[in-house]
């Protein structure tokens, strides 16, 4: 079984100062939008487990690309995801209330967590609420762009040929 998919003890990871490099296929994240078959995209990064201020913490870095659907043109688009999080792994709500503000509290039921779940949460936080191509010109089919360009040229020509009388 792959290290990122196993349920691991938080205390053992943080007390042992374990570092885990990972490459998780996007198909392993159930809450992400379905990815096209055969893309083989992965989310890569590193998780560094430590103890800080009495809490088990994980410094998490993620980097990858997710395919989404642009809500302007409804065509596929690639969305880069780069994230960094400092996570305090807590066993209860009471403990979460004591977490310093520089950490994001994450509930680790019964003191155990899957790395995949931490990574998935960071990826979801890195996705836009409304996915759109960065450049709106990417959203129009080339034929519309060409038609608009021709129409502008014709309109300019017609205005220059108008005679006042």
Asked if residue 143 lies in contact with residue 45, where contact means CB atoms within 8 angstroms, the answer is no
Q: Is 105 exposed, middle or buried (0-12, 13-18, 19+ CB in 10 A)?
A: middle
pLDDT tens-digit series, residues 63-116? 999 999 999 999 999 999 999 999 999 999 889 999 999 999 999 988 999 999
Which of 30-34, 47-51, 60-64, 102-106 is the least confident region?
30-34
Which of 32-46, 55-69, 95-109 is the least confident region?
32-46
Asked if residue 53 lies in contact with residue 89, where contact means CB atoms within 8 angstroms, the answer is no
pLDDT at residue number 33: 86
* Average pLDDT value for residue range 148-160: 51
Contacts of 106 (CB under 8 A, 6+ apart): 87, 88, 89, 90, 113, 118, 121
The larger pLDDT score, comparing residue 165 to residue 55, is at 55
């Amino acid at each position: 079984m792959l290290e990122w998919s196993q349920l691991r003890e938080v205390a053992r990871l943080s007390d042992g100062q374990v570092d885990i490099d990972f490459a998780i296929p996007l198909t392993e994240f159930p809450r992400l939008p379905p990815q096209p078959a055969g893309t083989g995209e992965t989310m890569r990064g590193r998780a560094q487990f430590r103890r800080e201020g009495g809490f088990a913490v994980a410094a998490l870095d993620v980097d990858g690309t997710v395919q989404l659907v642009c809500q302007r043109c409804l065509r596929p688009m690639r969305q880069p995801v780069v994230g960094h999080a400092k996570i305090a792994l807590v066993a209860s709500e009471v403990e979460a209330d004591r977490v310093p503000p520089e950490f994001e509290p994450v509930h680790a039921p019964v003191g155990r967590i899957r790395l995949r779940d931490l990574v998935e949460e960071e990826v979801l936080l890195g996705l836009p609420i409304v996915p759109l191509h960065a450049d709106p010109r990417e959203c129009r089919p080339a034929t519309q762009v060409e038609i608009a360009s021709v129409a502008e040229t014709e309109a300019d020509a017609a205005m220059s040929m108008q005679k006042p009388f």
